[in-house]
């Protein structure tokens, strides 16, 4: 891979993980028109399940933020495949939804979500400025702390 975003990833010393395969009967992404819908991505990188549990109970907010960063990394790894390997084709990050497995009294979802938003901003700059929702949920697949679902526009 070469290009602007590839250079930016190198500059940030970010290596995209091997994106996880769907654990069920669906696909990692679907394109419709120039929109890419990416499946919800868990916060585990490969076999590393450090980000298991609930934020505000098992994990600190800072650990939750790292979990959101991980989910965004997995997302971008799938996005690269959706772009045929060329992330320069991304014209906009449209929308990111951050589900945070939360202790009942944990309300710091925005700061957790920043782990995803800041990564997207660092990589894509102005094209990474997205609409967003962050919500606290009861539990997530495989007991991961964060799941990120997203929509992207490509050219």
- Contact status: 47 vs a copy of itself (CB under 8 A): no
CA pair distance 132, 139, nearest whole angstrom = 20
Only segment of 8-16, 43-51, 69-77, 88-96 that touches a copy of itself (CB under 8 A): 88-96
Range 8-27, binding a copy of itself (CB under 8 A):
22-27
- Contact status: 49 vs a copy of itself (CB under 8 A): no
Question: What b-and-e string marks burial along 43-55, b requiring 16 or more CB atoms within 10 Å of the CB?
Answer: bbbeeeeebbbbb
**One of 17, 35, 86, 88 touching a copy of itself (CB under 8 A):** 35
| Nearest by Cα to 43 from 71, 72, 21 | 71
- Contact status: 28 vs a copy of itself (CB under 8 A): yes
CA pair distance 133, 99, nearest whole angstrom = 8
Is the separation of the CB atoms in 36 and 86 below 8 Å? Answer: no
- Of residues 2 and 46, the one with the C-beta less far from a copy of itself: 46
Map residues 119-138 to x or -, x wherever contact with a copy of itself holds by CB under 8 A. Answer: --x-------xxxxxxxxxx
Rg (CA), the chain: 15
- Residue 71 has phi, psi (to 5 degrees) of -60, -40
CA pair distance 68, 137, nearest whole angstrom = 14
- Of residues 26 and 85, the one with the C-beta less far from a copy of itself: 26
- Contact status: 151 vs a copy of itself (CB under 8 A): yes
Q: Site size for a copy of itself, by CB under 8 A?
A: 59
| Nearest by Cα to 114 from 91, 130, 137 | 130
Only segment of 4-12, 13-21, 29-37, 69-77 that touches a copy of itself (CB under 8 A): 29-37
Give the footprint of a copy of itself on this chain (CB under 8 A).
22-30, 32-35, 37-40, 92-97, 99, 101-111, 113-114, 117-118, 121, 129-143, 147, 149, 151, 153
């Amino acid at each position: 891979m070469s290009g602007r975003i590839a250079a930016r990833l190198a500059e940030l010393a970010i290596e995209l993980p091997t994106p996880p395969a769907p654990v069920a009967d669906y696909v990692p992404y679907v394109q419709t028109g120039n929109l890419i819908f990416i499946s919800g991505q868990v916060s585990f990188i490969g076999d590393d399940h450090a980000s298991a549990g609930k934020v505000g109970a098992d994990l600190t907010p800072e650990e939750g933020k790292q979990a959101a960063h991980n989910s965004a990394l997995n997302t971008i790894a799938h996005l690269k495949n959706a772009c045929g390997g060329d992330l320069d084709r991304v014209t906009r990050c449209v929308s990111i939804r951050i589900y945070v497995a939360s202790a009942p009294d944990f309300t710091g979802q925005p700061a957790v979500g920043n782990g995803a938003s800041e990564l997207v901003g660092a990589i894509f700059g102005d094209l990474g400025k997205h609409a967003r929702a962050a919500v606290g949920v009861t539990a997530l697949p495989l007991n991961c702390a964060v799941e990120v679902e997203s929509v992207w526009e490509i050219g």
